[in-house]
Chains A and B, each alone.
Chain A
Amino acid sequence: MSAKLLDAAHSPARGTRLSVVIGRWLALTFAVCLVTGFYSHLLQDPSTWPGVTFSRPAWLYAVTQSVHIVAGTVSIPLLLGKLWAVYPELLRWPPVTSVLHGLERVSIAVLVSASLVEVTIGVINTFQWYPWPFPFRETHFALAWVILGSLLIHVAVKYPKIAAHWRGSRAASAPDAGRARRRVLALVGAAAAAAFVGTASENVPAVRALAVFTPRRPGRGSQGLAVNRTAEAAGVAVPADAADWRLRVVVGERVSEFSLAELAARPQAERSLPIACVEGWVQDAAWGGVPLAGLLEAAGASAGDVVVESLERAGNYRMTILPERFAWDPLTLVALRLGGEPLSLDHGFPARLIAPGRPGVLQTKWLAELRVITGGKA
């Protein structure tokens, strides 16, 4: 049975050399995904390690996250090619020859299943479709650890084979095997190149039409800027004059309130800052409003992290933490205008946060309250 299957799956292209060639590229794209992914996690969860997230350069997160999406998508053809190269191993008989061999196969099963699920849910998530029974971000994050661990085990176990086949040798393989292997590599390479172009072009205006593997194009939405969560979806309604709206700024015991007119009467600043979505799209926009640092000072603070609350009643991002480094960056605004006009309701009217170097989901819209939580003098 196994012999027949093995025979059916036989291809001269398969073998260790092909595994090593594709595996090297896959290790690179996975490593890039791990680094950029963990960086995104640290921004989303500043309580773990706030020292390593940066507000400058202002485009830092735009780069790390779009690289994440590009490298992740390029991983898919590489992963499929890699698994194709080693498929006969799956059919080997007997399946387990020793306890150690059994454990190794378990580690491979973990690596393969976690990797397949990681890239699959990653891509589907960028289409804003969540057809799974578990939370995306937590699962994607935990699987990254599992992938890192099982990948290390895999490389350590296979190290002698990897070293032996690191350089190709013409003599070692039959000429038709070399030809077959190059055909497979050409196919996998073409698919990886297509994945690269189909995602990386999303943020290059001149070639945006090529971004066939991305769902959302920057520039579609009100005021020429993309919107992921509309006011309607968030259940927020603010009348156009925002007469009753106040921005509360809480520093210790002291509560200051600012109406829209009062905010507009304060010193204003104009900033060009990107919205950098976790889904990998980036769009620069011209924001106008009140520098946050000045507003916090007016409310009696001189340092500290800021808890930012939205008018939204529910939602994962109703409340977020703006670490000190971002809150006090002179680029950070309580934005009232976009492109010179008042914010549309979908962009966060009456006021929203815009800070450099953070994911778009954390650029809180429909601001309700800012609360300084550490180091703020009351």
Chain B
Amino acid sequence: MRTTIVAAGTVLIGVGAVLLATMLTVPQLVGLGVWLACAVVLHDGVWVPLVTAASRGGGWARRALRRTAR
């Protein structure tokens, strides 16, 4: 069952790829590739580290507040 779903998923990705290849010109495909790569790089390399740092800061501030309140 799971194997069948993985196979079906692969086919559907293939449909998407064929649609892209037939509807977009090569420069457009390259541009899309750049967008896809940038999306991951910005999310994983900038956004999540910032959020992680912010939540660390928040946790530290919460603990500090609790200490001073005591």
Contact = CB atoms under 8 A, between A and B. Distances in A.
Given A135-B23, A142-B23, A149 B35 contact: no
A145 B15 contact: yes
* B-side interface size class: 35 or more
Nearest to B48: A87
Interface of A: 8-9, 11, 80, 83-84, 87, 90, 107, 109-110, 112-114, 116-117, 120-121, 132-135, 138-139, 141-153, 155-157, 159
B23 A148 contact: no
A146 B31 contact: no
A107 B5 CA distance: 13
A156 B9 contact: yes
Given A109-B40, A116-B40, A145 B19 contact: yes
Please report whether the interface of chain B is mostly helix, strand, loop or mixed according to DSSP: helix
Interface of B: 2-3, 5-6, 8-17, 19-20, 23-24, 27-32, 34-37, 39-40, 43-44, 47-48, 51-52, 55
A149 B23 contact: no
A156 B51 CA distance: 30
A121 B32 CA distance: 11
Contacts of B5: 152-153, 155-156
Given A156-B6, A157-B6, A113 B23 contact: no
Contact of A139 (B10, B24, B34): B24
B9 A139 contact: no
A152 B9 contact: yes
Contacts of B43: 83, 112, 116
A117 B36 contact: yes
A144 B16 contact: yes
Given A11-B52, A11-B55, A146-B17, 9 more contacts: A8-B52, A83-B48, A87-B48, A109-B40, A112-B40, A142-B16, A149-B8, A152-B6, A152-B8
Nearest to B42: A116
Q: Report, nearest first, the 8 A-B pairs whose CB atoms are least far apart.
A: A149-B12, A133-B31, A145-B16, A146-B16, A149-B13, A152-B9, A153-B9, A116-B39
A259 to B, nearest CB: 40
